[in-house]
Structure 1
Amino acid sequence: MSSVLENITSSSETPYPAWLFSTALLATFTSQNNKVQAVQPAQASSGGLMSMFRRSAKVGIKPSPLSCIGFGGAMALGGWIVRDGAVDDGAGFNMAWSTLYLLVNGGASVRQIIRGKIWPLCLTGLALGNLGIYGRRFVYGEEEKLL
């Protein structure tokens, strides 16, 4: 059991869990952009990023493209904070944004299983993982004594 805790503690000193979650969110945004255009082609008069957000709201895609961009960017920034050497500050930042992701998209991801979509639940699992990894570091700090 202590080796698992040691792995969690050591991975909180790296930006890789945050960057993995960020990459998954930004890849989800890219794939949603293609699906939304296939479902409802853009009209000549309305184009651009905002029309894509409106179309995705009509289709019911979860997490929304705005959520993917916002949380993906925040997690990338949090990984950069950890990489830059402020490990405890980055851990708190990543913990907070992972918690916010779960509050905004957690329930919807569980409901997406009914539609046969598993990827939103995988994103929620990544958020939970980041919450556990960075939350443990932020709450207990680096002076933590392993049992």
Structure 2
Amino acid sequence: MSAKPATDDAKDELLSPFRRLYALTRTPYPALANAALLASTPVLSPSFKVPPTQSPALSIPMSRVFSKSSTARIGITTKTALFFSTMQAIGAYMIYDNDLENGAGFIATWSALYLIVGGKKSFSALRYGRTWPLVLSSVSLANAVLYGQRFLATGFQ
């Protein structure tokens, strides 16, 4: 009989960091941390243009023919960073104002949208030795999952 509670205690110890993170979604702190990281991006890791590789004229993809810019960027632009930072701060304020359900849904949605906008760029930045975009994507993924779980657990009542 004593072996069973020890196993349950070990399982609780293993799950306790996830429970602690989930418990933090009752507060605006994870969203504020993400907003602060995004707002500091233009200073800590500004985006830069990557010179295009020379390719034959006939092998240019159609998406690059009709795009405004022919050079790719590594990292997110200042406007994008400040926009998503503002959205995270608005969601944090919603939770601070005791609207947990809508604030959690708002933060989860904008975190997922950030992953759509900057997720692929974060992995391509590793090729150039830039890890900051991957940090931003990881924190946004954590916010999307944790606040999304909080939003879905409310039951839409």
- Look up the equivalent residue of 1:65 and give its one-letter code: T
Please state how far the C-alpha of 1:9 moved relative to its aligned partner: 2.7
Task: Say whether residues 1:129 and 2:145 are aligned partners.
Answer: no
**Secondary structure of 1:60 counterpart:** strand
Match of 1:23 in 2: 36
Provide, for residues 52-94 of structure 1, a one-character-per-residue CA deviation record: whole Å limited to 9, x for no partner.
xxxxx96824111111010000001111111110011100000
Q: Distance in 2 between the 1:69 and 1:120 partners?
A: 14
Please state how far the C-alpha of 1:22 moved relative to its aligned partner: 0.4
Aligned residues of 1:32 and 1:65 also touching (Cα < 8 A): no
* Residue number among 47, 67, 87 corresponding to 2:80 in the alignment: 67
Q: Structure 2: which 5+ residue stretches go unaligned?
A: 1-13, 50-69
RMSD, aligned CA: 2.4
Structure 1 residues 133 and 86: alpha-carbon distance in aligned structure 2, compared to 1, 3 A threshold: same
Aligned residues of 1:92 and 1:135 also touching (Cα < 8 A): yes
Using the TM superposition, name which of 70-79 and 58-67 deviates more: 58-67
Q: Distance in 2 between the 1:31 and 1:119 partners?
A: 8
- Look up the equivalent residue of 2:98 and give its one-letter code: G
Using the TM superposition, name which of 101-110 and 60-69 deviates more: 60-69
**Secondary structure of 2:130 counterpart:** coil
Runs of 4+ in 1 over 3 A off after TM superposition: 30-33
Structure 1 residues 6 and 59: alpha-carbon distance in aligned structure 2, compared to 1, 3 A threshold: closer
Please state how far the C-alpha of 1:137 moved relative to its aligned partner: 0.0
Q: Distance in 1 between the 2:86 and 2:114 partners?
A: 12
Task: Say whether residues 1:77 and 2:93 are aligned partners.
Answer: no
Provide, for residues 86-143 of structure 1, a one-character-per-residue CA deviation record: whole Å limited to 9, x for no partner.
011100000000000000000010110001100000000010110121011011128x
User: Bigger radius of gyration, 1 or 2?
Assistant: 2
Q: Distance in 2 between the 1:122 and 1:32 partners?
A: 11
Greater relative contact order structure (CA < 8 Å, 6+ sep): 1
Aligned residues of 1:106 and 1:124 also touching (Cα < 8 A): yes
Provide, for residues 5-52 of structure 1, a one-character-per-residue CA deviation record: whole Å limited to 9, x for no partner.
43133111010100001001111123456x89xxxxxxxxxxxxxxxx
Structure 1 residues 5 and 60: alpha-carbon distance in aligned structure 2, compared to 1, 3 A threshold: closer
Aligned residues of 1:88 and 1:138 also touching (Cα < 8 A): yes
Q: How many residues align?
A: 122
**Secondary structure of 2:128 counterpart:** coil
The TM-score, its normalising length taken from structure 1, stands at 0.74
Q: Distance in 2 between the 1:118 and 1:65 partners?
A: 17
Aligned residues of 1:62 and 1:109 also touching (Cα < 8 A): yes
Q: Structure 1: which 5+ residue stretches go unaligned?
A: 37-56, 143-147
